[in-house]
Amino acid sequence: MTSAGGFIKAIESGSKHLVIKRFTLRYPEKKLKFVGDGYQFDPKRGVGIAGYRGRHILFHDKCTGCQLCAIACEGIAEAIGMVKVDEKWKHNKKSIMPQIDFGKCVFCGLCVDACPFYALYMTDDYELSAFTKEHLIYTPAQLAVKPKYDGSVELKIDDRGATHG
Amino acid sequence: MSTEFSNETLKKDSSNSGLQIVKESEEDRLMTLSVGPQHPGSGHFRFTVKVDGDYIVHCDPDPGYVHRGEEKMCEYRNFIQNIPHLERPVIHDSNNITYSYSLAVEELTNIQVPRRGQFIRAIASELNRQVYTLYWLAIYGIFLGHSTMFMWPTGDRELFIDLLEMLTGARVTHAFNIPGGVRNDMPVGFSEKCLRNISYFEKRLVEYENIFYNNPLMRQRTEGVGLLTKEDAIKLGVTGSVLRASNTPYDIRKAEPYDVYNEIDFKVQYMKSSDCFARAYVPLLDMRESCYIMRQLLDKIPQSGEVRAKLQPNPKGPAGEAYRRVESGRGALGYYIISDGTPKPYRVKISVGSFRNMLALPHLLVGAKLADMPSIYWALNYWPVEADR
Amino acid sequence: MASRGSRIVEFRFGNFVASLIWLILIVLIIVSLAALPLIFIVLFYAPLPPINGQVLTPYLFLSMMVDPTRTLPVLKFIMHTELFRVAVFPGFSFAAIFAAVTIFVERKFLAKMQLRVGPLYAGKIEGILQLIADGLKLISKEIIIPSGADKPIFWAAPIAFVAASAAVISLIPVAPGWVVSNTDVGLLAAFAILGFFPLIALLFSWASNSKYPFIGGLRALHQMIAFEIPFILSALSVVILSGSLNLTHIAAAQSPYWYIFFLPISAFVFFISSLAELERIPFDLPEAESEIVAGWLTETSGMIYGLLQLGTYIKLYALAALFVTLFLGGWAGPQIFPQVLGPPGPQSPLIQLLTLRPIYNPIIVNDVFWFSIKTFGIIMLMLLPRGINPRIRIDILLHTGWYKLIVLSFINMFIALALVYGGVFGPGGVLTPH
Amino acid sequence: MSNKGNHNVNDPKANSSTKIEPSGAQIGIKQDDALVLENLIVNKLVSKFGDKIKIAYTKPLRIKVEVDRSDIIEVASFIKESLLFDHAESVAGTDYPKGNYIEVVYHLGSYTVDELGAHVLALATRTGREDSSLPSLVNIYKSVEYHERETFEMLGVYFEGHPRNDRFLLPEDWADIPPMRKEFRIKGR
């Protein structure tokens, strides 16, 4: 009676899970915690620093308008365009800075790798919904804002199963 | 299947104003069913089957619904820019599909990957293999009507997605392997979390066996169904779990060890029964073996060191060609890259396991029952988007 | 700046109370302006029965709302009308509520087994209003009829499905005397009505004019016919023991010992067959979505789908109740309800109203309670396979039905016959209730 | 299955002698210890076919053989029967407008022989860009069936003897030139 044994084992396994903690992350109320402050890149060492690849943050005091990020994006998503900004920086003679269209961006982070001046990083923010496509185009001023992300839930594993709390 | 038909039906003939015996032809008996692309059991793929009663007598695959011309797109982008779009065909296994690309580009441009980078690559590849296989298993569960087997692997997949997200910063499309190594180093605490998740996952695999693999109904549905003998498997050139389920222990990780796999001790998982159950069970064995591999990788990884070779933004090498393969979740995944000395590849040909396994679909379906169609189709480890490229 | 919709609207008790008051106000206005005049008009022309020796007038009828001495007799009268039995209890509404609870419990139960949460947001507590939301959604959806469909049959089949399920309900006694139709051929009638379902499935699938429903309908036909025979045979052994086809008699005949103790194999066969009859996993081949899209339900949409689902779950309740009646002694169970509700002795009219003094019958309430508990347990058992089993294949299914289950049911029939001839059951038997 | 860890295919000096559009005269076989099996295969091929075939290169685990289109069936049969490369992994067609030819490369591997598991033999043949046609290998290697069909629609190479030279991946209403030809340009690039 191997088949009966198989059924009994299956029923046992199934009913065992009735008392195990649920796995689901109740998303809008609870958000996942990420490592670090987002993906960053160290051009000196030529290697990235682990972190979540969410929307970008642009440091205006470091951007020189060299367009390397736009060139890196050219064959990938073509999401980065250089726009004129109304700011005067000594290191940014042309006063151009990247503007990112998150409707096109694939969040590969190769633009961050391309930036030699520590000006473009990525952040933990992934909630980028908008009602129109135009609203997904982030100007340099919008990119300079550090997003507030308060994810705190981590996967907990104990004897009664894995759960997101 | 019988090919002789003696059914004779009486049909009213209007011109003759009388009853005439019309012999039913073979074609009249057949019903053509379109499976896909809007069918719950097809994915982005269509195949038409002709059924005679409950038996399938003809099968014609019609892929291409998600053909994006990846190979053509590669010719317009340089070696680095190709990475984000090359992982689109199979986002659940994106580290493996860029792995062999990176290997081929490294061979063309003579880049040596640092040792720690090789280890991190292998870890990411194994993690992604788990993600893909769990997803595959979830779909196989729902194909057989087992909704619990859909939910459990989908949930447990999060374990590895979380790890990959911690490592690479993205949940599915990682863009992590790059010619010259990997994009970033392992974050602090990664290996502890990885070991914790792996040991939890190994306990879950036992539950999978209890509720799914050892369930008599699942066995009835898969055992002895869709027999693909070793000779046929080799003749059709299938790969991956389909090949290994047909009594052929062939795994690229063992046959042609790339990067650090020659230092890892593992066994090629294969089964002799050659049926759908074997094709469903080999991935489970693979997942178990993959946990074992990951433990070794985390154990043997050098504690510090470079992870990425310095390379110019537009790497280019001498003219030449390279063909490199890795073992992905769906079998051998090869890249044939021809370079003409410019920063852009002259020709990229992606040889994917799904495309190769598709040839076995008509072979197995013809003569099978319609009710066996889902179990045969999905056991082939076929990912339509990857096959279309 | 892109609109960032992460601000969560906070729950305010004041707003909640205000909305409740608004709701009550609107209901009051509608009642006083529309419903009351309508009731008056209807009552004025309807012949009304005498209550407590007094002929009921519309005025007296409406005064029952404030006078407890009149309310309860009127209620008692209504409860013993035929219409109440058919429409409310133990007829359609009772079954529909049972079905609704089943659907909700199934979703939560399955979710728990699959480490999910299940319905969560509709209704403040664990998605308790999810079913109402689903129902509203289905009602508001467009009903799409395929161009080549046979329209009359396409429309009639869902209604026939629900009607047939409800017809089975009408034969099932929930307590002594509480049955819509207490016929002497109750069991036979139940099987006769259940025999309609394959016909409805086939008609509907044919009327849909589509390939997948057609295959699904044929599968449904095969499956239901294959399982009809073990289904009836397993119930036959119960008939042998009880000597009656009347379901009330069968339930009453089990008063000391339930038949499941003598006929476990029959009970098992009956359970498996009813799963197959219900097209539940692992026997949901007619709706196998990975092979034939949604089987014979492929072309359904909107409320047609809703009706078929309602019919399916009412049928689930009916078969579980039939199982309870045949094998688990129906309503039998220890008396746990008090003789009277509230404090004993004569009381004021208000207390009488609150404790339902004239219409409260402890024995009937107890019977209904035990019947519901047992039925619910069987329903839970029927839900369990969905969590742990894959779908079976048609040839294995037919093999199981024609070869294994029929043989098994015959085995237990011989046991039943032996029990009857051995003098344990039957006329003058040892265990026959007197 | 033997573990061939000593074949370090990442060795940069091993793959520095490759060239695109390999000229036929280049049969220079490197006398390297790591290339024993490769040289064995090459020697077998050369001794059997002589100057019918041209060895384009021999790298660790990779051999590329070029044959004329008239000899390809003969060579392929020999490779399958005697060298035991039993399946095709991919069929890659490449368009060379400068040389006015299309090269089709069959990557052949072996499952049956453990030692050949790591090896890939690339069997290349050429056809003109106009009226491109090649004999199909589908009767020798069943596994090339869909690959050749894909090559037909992507490059317009007609495979004689193939059961279905037919549309496969492209849309049903594809009315342009085969897209993997170099003159087919993606819009805006």
The Cα–Cα gap between C428 and C430 comes to 7
Question: In the structure encoding, which two tokens stand for residue A125, read together?
Answer: 């923010």
Contact D169 B359 (CB under 8 A): no
- The partner residue sitting opposite D18, judged by closest CB among B71, B106, B321, is B321
Q: Identify which of B336, B312, B332 has the alpha carbon closest to the alpha carbon of residue B107.
A: B336
User: Which chain B residues have a beta carbon less than 8 Å from that of D111?
Assistant: 233-234, 243, 248, 250
- Asked if C39 and C48 touch (Cβ cutoff 8 Å), the reply is no
C66 close to A (CB below 8 A): no
Q: What is the DSSP annotation of A16-79?
A: HTTSSPP----TTTS-B--STTS-EEETTTTEEE-----SEEE-TTT-----HHHHHHHTTT--
Contact D90 B76 (CB under 8 A): no
Query: Which of B321, B357, B359 best tests the D interface by mutation, with the highest count of D CBs <10 A?
Result: B321
Provide the b/e sequence for D140-177 (b: ≥16 CB within 10 Å).
bbbbbbbbbbbbbbbbbbbbeebeebeebbbeeeeeee
**Polymer length in residues for chain D:** 189
The Cα–Cα gap between B130 and B292 comes to 12
Q: Per-residue pLDDT averaged across A66-80, rounded?
A: 84
Chains touching chain C, criterion 3+ CB pairs below 8 Å? A, B
- Asked if B144 and B375 touch (Cβ cutoff 8 Å), the reply is yes
Question: In the structure encoding, which two tokens stand for residue C152, read together?
Answer: 């009359």
The confidence band for D8, taking pLDDT boundaries of 50, 70 and 90, is very low
- Asked if C378 and C329 touch (Cβ cutoff 8 Å), the reply is no
Tens digits of residue pLDDT in B216-232? 888 888 888 888 888 88
Tens digits of residue pLDDT in B372-386? 888 888 888 888 888
Neighbours of C122 (CB within 10 A): 15
Contact C115 B151 (CB under 8 A): yes
Helix, strand, coil percent content, chain D, rounded in steps of 5: 25, 25, 50
Question: For position A143, what pLDDT does the model report?
Answer: 86
The Cα–Cα gap between C10 and B387 comes to 49
How do D87-96 and D101-109 pair as beta strands?
A: antiparallel
- The partner residue sitting opposite B216, judged by closest CB among A3, A49, A75, is A3
Query: Which of D7, D10, D148 best tests the B interface by mutation, with the highest count of B CBs <10 A?
Result: D10
- CB-based touch B/A (3+ pairs, under 8 A): yes
Nearest CA in chain B to A41: B184
Q: Per-residue pLDDT averaged across C161-175, rounded?
A: 87
The Cα–Cα gap between B129 and B93 comes to 6
Question: For position D52, what pLDDT does the model report?
Answer: 81
- Asked if B222 and B276 touch (Cβ cutoff 8 Å), the reply is yes
Q: How many CA atoms lie within 13 A of C321 on its CB side?
A: 32
Paired residues of D126 in beta bridges: D103
Q: Identify which of B302, B327, B386, B271 has the alpha carbon closest to the alpha carbon of residue B126.
A: B327
Alpha-carbon Rg for chain A, nearest whole angstrom, is 23
Residue D3 has pLDDT above 60, yes or no: no
Nearest CA in chain A to B189: A35
Q: ipTM of the assembly?
A: 0.81
Neighbours of C384 (CB within 10 A): 16
Name which of B1-15, C105-119, C420-434, D150-164 the model is least confident about.
B1-15
Name which of A135-139, B228-232, B280-284, C73-77 the model is least confident about.
C73-77
Question: For position B1, what pLDDT does the model report?
Answer: 39
Tens digits of residue pLDDT in D133-147? 888 888 888 888 888
Query: How many Cβ contacts (< 8 angstroms) between chains B and C?
Result: 86
Tens digits of residue pLDDT in C210-246? 888 888 888 888 888 888 888 888 888 888 888 788 8
Question: For position B19, what pLDDT does the model report?
Answer: 56
Alpha-carbon Rg for chain D, nearest whole angstrom, is 17
Q: How far out from the chain centre does Cα C282 lie?
A: 21
**Polymer length in residues for chain C:** 434
Q: Per-residue pLDDT averaged across C80-91, rounded?
A: 80
Question: In the structure encoding, which two tokens stand for residue B86, read together?
Answer: 């090359």
Tens digits of residue pLDDT in B133-149? 999 898 888 888 888 88
**B203-212, B303-312, D53-62 — which one is most confidently predicted on average?**
B203-212
D162 close to B (CB below 8 A): no
- Asked if A102 and A128 touch (Cβ cutoff 8 Å), the reply is yes
Tens digits of residue pLDDT in D74-121? 888 888 888 888 888 888 888 888 888 888 898 888 888 877 888 888
The Cα–Cα gap between C296 and C289 comes to 10
H-assigned helices in C141-210: 151-169, 186-194, 196-208
- CB-based touch B/C (3+ pairs, under 8 A): yes
Question: For position D188, what pLDDT does the model report?
Answer: 67
Question: For position C51, what pLDDT does the model report?
Answer: 67
The confidence band for C52, taking pLDDT boundaries of 50, 70 and 90, is low
Helix, strand, coil percent content, chain A, rounded in steps of 5: 20, 20, 60
The confidence band for D13, taking pLDDT boundaries of 50, 70 and 90, is very low
The Cα-based distances of C425 to A76, B291, C410 in angstroms read 83, 62, 18
The Cα–Cα gap between A59 and A145 comes to 9
- Asked if A124 and A69 touch (Cβ cutoff 8 Å), the reply is no
The confidence band for D20, taking pLDDT boundaries of 50, 70 and 90, is very low
Instruction: Show Cβ contacts of residue B325 under 8 Å, excluding neighbours closer than 6 positions.
Output: B100, B252, B256, B258, B332, B333, B334, B335, B351, D89, D120
Q: What is the mean pLDDT of chain B?
A: 83
Instruction: Show Cβ contacts of residue C175 under 8 Å, excluding neighbours closer than 6 positions.
Output: C90, C331, C363, C364, C367, C368, C371
User: Which chain C residues have a beta carbon less than 8 Å from that of B211?
Assistant: 388
User: Which chain D residues have a beta carbon less than 8 Å from that of B389?
Assistant: 169
Question: For position B23, what pLDDT does the model report?
Answer: 65
* Residues of chain C numbered 23-42 and touching chain B (CB < 8 Å): none
User: Which chain B residues have a beta carbon less than 8 Å from that of A6?
Assistant: 214-216, 219
- Asked if B204 and A13 touch (Cβ cutoff 8 Å), the reply is no
Q: Per-residue pLDDT averaged across B169-176, rounded?
A: 86
Q: How many CA atoms lie within 13 A of A21 on its CB side?
A: 14
Helix C196-208 and helix C151-169: axis angle, to 10°?
Answer: 160
Q: Per-residue pLDDT averaged across C127-137, rounded?
A: 84
The Cα–Cα gap between D180 and D156 comes to 9
Q: What is the DSSP annotation of B68-121?
A: --HHHHHTTS-TTTHHHHHTSTTGGGHHHHHHHHHHHHHHHHT----HHHHHHH
Q: How far out from the chain centre does Cα B200 lie?
A: 25
B202 close to A (CB below 8 A): no
* Residues of chain B numbered 100-159 and touching chain A (CB < 8 Å): 148, 155-156, 158-159
Residue C28 has pLDDT above 90, yes or no: yes
Domain boundaries defined on chain B: 8-62, 70-388
At the topology level of CATH, where does A38-143 sit? Alpha-Beta Plaits (3.30.70)
Residue C29 has pLDDT above 90, yes or no: yes
Question: For position C27, what pLDDT does the model report?
Answer: 93
User: Which chain A residues have a beta carbon less than 8 Å from that of C381?
Assistant: none
The Cα–Cα gap between A160 and B297 comes to 28
Q: Per-residue pLDDT averaged across D51-65, rounded?
A: 83
The Cα–Cα gap between D65 and D120 comes to 11
Is B70-388 assigned to CATH 1.20.1250.20? no
D143 close to B (CB below 8 A): yes
Residue D61 has pLDDT above 50, yes or no: yes
Instruction: Show Cβ contacts of residue D175 under 8 Å, excluding neighbours closer than 6 positions.
Output: none
Contact A50 B308 (CB under 8 A): no
The confidence band for C26, taking pLDDT boundaries of 50, 70 and 90, is very high
Q: Identify which of B259, B257, B255, B237 has the alpha carbon closest to the alpha carbon of residue B246.
A: B237
Tens digits of residue pLDDT in C260-282? 888 888 888 888 888 888 888 78
Domain boundaries defined on chain D: 25-160
C404 close to B (CB below 8 A): no
The Cα–Cα gap between B271 and B278 comes to 6
Question: Residue C36: which H helix or E strand, with range?
Answer: helix C36-45
- Asked if C331 and C174 touch (Cβ cutoff 8 Å), the reply is yes
Tens digits of residue pLDDT in C30-50? 988 998 888 878 877 777 767
- Asked if B228 and B238 touch (Cβ cutoff 8 Å), the reply is yes
Domain D25-160 CATH class label: alpha beta
Question: In the structure encoding, which two tokens stand for residue B189, read together?
Answer: 């605490």
Helix B115-143 and helix B276-300: axis angle, to 10°?
Answer: 150
Instruction: Name the residue with tokens 């295969």.
Output: D41
Neighbours of D188 (CB within 10 A): 6
Å between D27 CA and nearest CA of chain B: 16
Question: In the structure encoding, which two tokens stand for residue D137, read together?
Answer: 């290998």
Instruction: Show Cβ contacts of residue B116 under 8 Å, excluding neighbours closer than 6 positions.
Output: B185, B301, B302, B304, B305, B306, B307
Question: For position C429, what pLDDT does the model report?
Answer: 67
Query: Which of B30, B32, B33, B159 best tests the C interface by mutation, with the highest count of C CBs <10 A?
Result: B33
Nearest CA in chain A to C114: A17
Tens digits of residue pLDDT in C331-351? 887 888 777 777 777 777 677
C123 close to A (CB below 8 A): no
Q: What is the mean pLDDT of chain C?
A: 81
The Cα–Cα gap between C4 and A29 comes to 15
Instruction: Show Cβ contacts of residue B199 under 8 Å, excluding neighbours closer than 6 positions.
Output: none
The Cα–Cα gap between D107 and D93 comes to 11
B174 phi, psi to nearest 5 deg: -85, -35
Question: For position C64, what pLDDT does the model report?
Answer: 67
